[in-house]
Amino acid sequence: MSITYTETKSDTDSRTWIDIGDGRHMTISITGEGIVMDVFAISEHIDYSGNPPGDDERLGTVEMTFDEWAEWVLGLMPRAYHMSNA
């Protein structure tokens, strides 16, 4: 697998777009509050919902504040916390 990424930054957040290389891509957003990771599929490659070709379909999201991430890393919070399918 070859991963390529692009990044955009502003005064309030940073977003990294990662092309996983199999028709899926991930965005990682870092804000003043925490980190959000979304996984998408391009419907012409992997069609889960009947979206028109070229439309992105969000497959799932993981998001936590920085305090929550710190507790999760230390094992103080269940591993499945804040995970969802869009």
Domains of the chain by residue range: 4-78
Q: Is the pLDDT of residue 33 over 80?
A: yes
| pLDDT value, residue 34 | 93
DSSP for 1-27, written as a single string: ---EEEEEE-SSEEEEEEE-SSSEEEE
pLDDT at res. 86:
45
Global confidence as pTM:
0.67
Q: pLDDT for 36-86, tens place per residue?
A: 999 988 665 544 554 444 567 888 898 889 998 888 888 887 765 555 554
Neighbours of 40 (CB within 10 A): 20
